[in-house]
Amino acid sequence: MKNHELQQRDGGWTYVINGRHSPVYASREAAIDAAKSATFDQELDDELEEGLEGSFPASDPVSVTRSSHIGGPDRSKKE
């Protein structure tokens, strides 16, 4: 089991793992169950951080999504 801390906040319960807060759960038991199965995707987190650093300052938020499609739309077809 991961080390986690439970905190009561915003009318419910949240868990904290490695300084990260979970969403708020209605009951303490729900927060404990969620903490037991919690996973933080370090690779995704690293990609987000890299994107934020590479685009600051910017007016558009960073999107960390993966796409199997490479390139832009096919503009060779005329309508």
Task: Supply the pLDDT for residue 58.
Answer: 60
Task: Supply the pLDDT for residue 39.
Answer: 66
Look at residue 50 and tell me if it is in a domain: yes
CA angle 58–63–67, rounded 5-degree value = 135
Task: Supply the pLDDT for residue 26.
Answer: 94
Look at residue 42 and tell me if it is in a domain: yes
Question: Residue 22 is part of which domain span?
Answer: 5-55
Kindly report, residue by residue over 56-73, the tens digit of the pLDDT.
666 666 666 666 666 666
Task: Supply the pLDDT for residue 40.
Answer: 61
Look at residue 40 and tell me if it is in a domain: yes
Query: What parts of the chain have a pLDDT lower than 50?
Result: 1
pTM of the entire structure? 0.46
* H or E element in which residue 6 lies: strand 5-9
